Structure 1
Amino acid sequence: MFKNTFQSGFLSILYSIGSKPLQIWDKKVRNGHIKRVTDNDIHSYVLEIEGANVSTTYITCPADPKKTLGIKLPFLVMIIKNLKKYFTFEVQVLDDKNVRRRFRASNYQSMTRVTPFICTMPMRLDDGWNQIQFNLSDFTRRAYGTNYSETLRVQIHANCCIRRVYFSDRLYAEDELPAEFKLYLPVQNPKSKVSLYLRARCTWDNVMGSVRHLTSFCFYLFCSSNDSCLSRAVVKFSQINFNVVLLSLLSLFLLDLYVLTVFTVHNHQ
Structure 2
Amino acid sequence: MIGEVSTNKFLSVFYSVGSKPLEMWDQHVCNGRVYRMTDEEIQSYVLEILGQNISTTYITCPNAKKKSLAVKMPILVIVLKNLNKYFSFEVQILDDQNLKRRFHASTCQTTTVVKPFACMMPMKLDEGWNQVQFDLADFTRRAYGTTYIETVKLSNVG
TM above 0.5, yes or no, is yes
Does residue 71 in structure 1 map to residue 74 in structure 2?
Answer: no
Which residue is equivalent to 2:138? 138
Q: CA deviation at 1:111?
A: 1.3
Does residue 118 in structure 1 map to residue 118 in structure 2?
Answer: yes
Q: CA deviation at 1:5?
A: 3.6
Which residue is equivalent to 1:47? 47
Which residue is equivalent to 1:10? 10
Asked which structure has the greater RCO (Cα within 8 Å, sep 6+), the reply is: 2
Please identify which structure carries the higher strand content.
2
Contact preservation (8 Å) 2:5, 2:11 = no
Please identify which structure carries the higher helix content.
1
Secondary structure in 1 matching 2:13: strand
Contact preservation (8 Å) 2:82, 2:126 = yes
Rounded to whole Å, the distance in 2 between the matches of 1:37 and 1:29 is 17
Structure 2 residue identity aligned to 1:17: V
The within-5 A match list for 1:1-269 is: 1-158=1-158
Q: CA deviation at 1:40?
A: 1.1
Q: CA deviation at 1:121?
A: 0.9
TM-score (norm 2): 0.98
Rounded to whole Å, the distance in 2 between the matches of 1:5 and 1:40 is 34
Rounded to whole Å, the distance in 1 between the matches of 2:125 and 2:157 is 15
Structure 1 residue identity aligned to 2:120: T
Secondary structure in 1 matching 2:67: coil
Structure 2 residue identity aligned to 1:11: L
Give the number of the structure whose alpha-carbon radius of gyration is greater: 1
Unaligned runs of 5+ in 1: 159-269
Which residue is equivalent to 1:257? none
Q: CA deviation at 1:4?
A: 3.2
Rounded to whole Å, the distance in 1 between the matches of 2:5 and 2:17 is 24
Structure 1 runs (4+) greater than 4 angstroms displaced? none
Rounded to whole Å, the distance in 2 between the matches of 1:114 and 1:139 is 11
Rounded to whole Å, the distance in 2 between the matches of 1:140 and 1:7 is 18
TM-score (norm 1): 0.58
Secondary structure in 1 matching 2:14: strand
Rounded to whole Å, the distance in 2 between the matches of 1:126 and 1:42 is 16
Rounded to whole Å, the distance in 2 between the matches of 1:12 and 1:146 is 26
